[in-house]
Chains A and B, each alone.
Chain A
Amino acid sequence: MTAAPVAPAPDRTAGARPDGGPARPDGPGGPGRRRDPLRPPADPRQRVIRWLAGGSVLLALAASSAIGLDLPTLVAGGEDVANLLGRMVPPELSDPARIATLALDTVLMAFLGTVLATVLSVPLAFLAARTTTPHPAVAAVARGIITFCRAVPDLVFAVLFVRALGLGVLPGVLALALHSVGMLGKLFADAVEGAEPGPREAVRSVGVGRVRELLNGVVPQVVPAWVSAFVYRVDINLRTSVVLGFVGAGGIGFALQDALRGLVYTKAMGIVLVILVLVAGMELLSVAIRRTLLAPRNPRYGRDRAVRFLSAAAAAVLLVISFVRLGIDPVALVTSVPDLLAVAGRTFPPDLTTLGPALWEALLQTLAIGLSATGIGVVLSLPLGVLAARNVAPHPLVYGAARTVILVVRAIPELILAVVFVAAVGLGPVAGAVALGIGSIGFLGKLVADAVEEIPPGPAEAVRSVGGGWWKVVFSAVLPQGMPSIVGSGLYLLDVNIRTSTILGIVGAGGVGFLLFEAVRTLHFQVAGGIVLLVFVVVLLVERLSGWIRAQLS
């Protein structure tokens, strides 16, 4: 067997190029200089992409060394984690009734928070959508509110609200609701903008006012998108609500924190397992709901209507149960607003000077954690994701194992991972970065696997037919094709990780969150306001930056 003819060095970023474009006869070097005919013509966009790629690798490495994350630390940390896990078995459920109650509360909090977010998001979405806003200025304000809600992490809201309203589930629910507006408002508004204008014009032409024009001409078109976003958000909020207890905002996180503080690791493991079951169950449920409610287009009315009616009734009942079970007086939702505003008011004017250089150091540390976590996430997720793609996995068993790892990691909220790593390797940014990095597998691994499964099979077949083995198929056919969407997902991961790294400090895993938590605890609200402002700015900048990079790639 002769060596397989190597395909012309596949450019890993080639797929990211818009279309390859017609090869230009001369590089930008000018017509006078002949270029090497075996080198691809210079392309300024290519150069930008290469610089970005190289720069981000360097940046991730620099960030890792800045927070003291290196290979020896990782190896030693691995031993510590193994030791800790050893002390966690056998898992133990000491007070099953109490845990079950807390678990139920946690689910109801996630649900109620999402419902409240929906109630807030619907009017905001209509105000924010270009096609329905009464005035562009109103749209800009509405978009601004939505962006603000997204840029302030839910736990930051929770910390502030617990201060305003005291310990309990109400501040937790409100924090979930407010942060969720950031996502739901945006998705709802996007759906409204995507609605067809025709039916709206038809409704307007029967002679009704603006409200009914939107209700009957737009809402029926966007309901599926809204429901899908709602279900997805409940899923996300459940992951957050299990850790709200860390800041005293109710739910099963209370019990977990108790167990960890008391160093009763077997009990902690029991609770973590309960959380795993909850989150995994919710994921299955949300897939099922989306399938029954949205997928089938049954031409006959009866079944569709029955399903819709039953789901609406179930949601209504669940809503009532939530209020009763959590002991939240619906009136309190309104009457608590002045208290919340009072706390918000006390954060003004934001104070950026009292903490001095410590603040900026913490902020840099936050960025470093986010960057190195993303680096770890990419390094781990790429191979795992490729193995978890049905069309590339060398064996069904490998595929199954890889998918399982991804699923399990996905089910563990990052903050819980962070708690575990803090317990194992001690307080500090290393625990946070490693926890976030490993948590990234659940997110990026899945996206990589899905992206790889979607690539057309032709090129892989071509590589195989010239005698290429598995490795050659992966490097010459799979990765080049999947790269654009993998890079896009990686950037999105960076976004998410930096946002999360701002709250890791709440469990002592480094970053600016610790200062924030301390500031609120010691009632230095203006300092807290300054930190929230910085977090907001950083998240916004990262979002814009990654949006810009993604635009360069597509």
Chain B
Amino acid sequence: MQGGDEPLVRVRGLRKEFDGTTALAGVDLDVARGELVVLLGLSGSGKSTLLRCLNGLHRPSDGEVTVAGTRVDRASSRELRRLRTEVGFVFQQFNLVGRLTCLENVLIGGLGRVRGPRYGVSTYSRRMRAEAMAHIDRVGLADQAFQRADTLSGGQQQRVALARTLMQRPQLVLADEPVASLDPENAGTVMDLLVRVCAEEGLTVLCTLHQVDLALGWADRLVGLRQGEKVLDRPTAGLTKDEAMAIYRRVEPAAAVAA
């Protein structure tokens, strides 16, 4: 871990409420440049909300969120848009536009860099098309570049989504359950690819996961959330699986006993 002076992500006392329900109840978190942090926690523990607060898809109810020098909690919508161009987001459901080709889906990642509306591959410059093609090649789908995205398997679609993220040339990648919709084998492949590519590019990654095994294998640090509060924040080095699993177990002791 080579932490810079200033953490890329700095969160202090982050609260987020939806119509009276508290999703995040005061979370502090620092992520250093180049670090790979995995967020663990049950569904509904606030992981996705935390990620979405980092790029302003959700507005924090209270607290300070600084990402790459931008105060997300009080950014104007113009500042937010600028920030988002530097923050890649990988979704659980891939969120590709199914009717469009893989290439065009990847090109969408570059939209933040160009002015004016684009629609259809031919409205993007040659340079951007070449770059998008290179990213598709990198995730191993060059042959499928001109295929409709919805004709691909789930694992392939997530790889296209990853290429879309790379097209953004982000500093930070937020991945929301990137492999939860995939079978174990594809999950391994996609996770492997995500971690390798981000390491090669020196990207900072904040990723939510359900699989403790995957998390222990890849993360520099694990952060556990439970009911909107941080209950664990430790480097993976020296962390045992049981200790990590405790995040889940402590939530509902009754269920643990029953199991």
- Which of A's residues lie within 8 Å of B, judged by CB? 198-199, 201-209, 211-212, 215-217, 219-221, 223-224, 297, 299-302, 304
In-complex Cβ contact of A215 among B95, B119, B151 (8 A): B119
| Total contacting residues, chain B, CB less than 8 A | 37
| Interchain nearest-CB distance for B20 vs A (Å) | 21
| Interchain nearest-CB distance for A213 vs B (Å) | 9
In the complex, how many residue pairs between chain A and chain B have their CB atoms under 8 Å apart?
A: 89
| Interchain nearest-CB distance for A122 vs B (Å) | 13
| Interchain nearest-CB distance for A418 vs B (Å) | 43
In-complex Cβ contact of A300 among B98, B99, B109, B147 (8 A): B147
Compute how far the CA of A281 lies from the CA of B95 in the bound complex, rounded to whole angstroms. 41
Q: Does B164 contact A (CB under 8 A)?
A: yes
Q: Is the CB of B117 within 8 A of A221?
A: no
Q: Is the CB of A206 within 8 A of B97?
A: no
Main secondary structure on A side of the interface with B: helix
| Interchain nearest-CB distance for B102 vs A (Å) | 9
| Interchain nearest-CB distance for A548 vs B (Å) | 31
Question: Which residues of chain B are near A209, meaning CB under 8 Å?
Answer: 77, 81
The residue in A206, A221, A299 that gathers the most chain B C-beta atoms within 10 A of its C-beta is: A206
Q: Is the CB of A204 within 8 A of B57?
A: yes
What residue in chain B is nearest A209 (Cβ atoms)? B81
Given contacts A208-B112, A217-B97, 14 further A-B contacts (CB under 8 A): A201-B91, A202-B108, A202-B164, A205-B55, A205-B89, A206-B108, A207-B111, A212-B118, A215-B117, A215-B119, A220-B119, A297-B151, A301-B146, A301-B148
A199 with B146, Cβ < 8 A, contacts A204-B57, A216-B118 known: no
Q: Is the CB of A221 within 8 A of B97?
A: yes
Q: Is the CB of B119 within 8 A of A207?
A: no
Q: Is the CB of B95 within 8 A of A202?
A: yes
Listed by A's residue number, 20 A-B pairs whose Cβ atoms lie within 8 Å are A202-B96, A206-B110, A206-B112, A207-B80, A207-B84, A207-B85, A207-B87, A207-B111, A207-B112, A207-B168, A209-B81, A212-B117, A215-B117, A215-B118, A217-B97, A219-B119, A221-B97, A223-B99, A301-B148, A304-B148
Sort A-B residue pairs by CB-CB distance and give the 10 closest, nearest first.
Answer: A207-B84, A301-B146, A207-B85, A207-B112, A198-B95, A202-B95, A205-B89, A299-B151, A199-B97, A207-B81
Question: Which residues of chain A are near B100, meaning CB under 8 Å?
Answer: 220
A198 with B93, Cβ < 8 A, contacts A205-B57, A211-B117, A300-B147 known: yes
Q: Does B215 contact A (CB under 8 A)?
A: no
Compute how far the CA of A304 lies from the CA of B99 in the bound complex, rounded to whole angstroms. 11
In-complex Cβ contact of A208 among B111, B147, B148 (8 A): B111
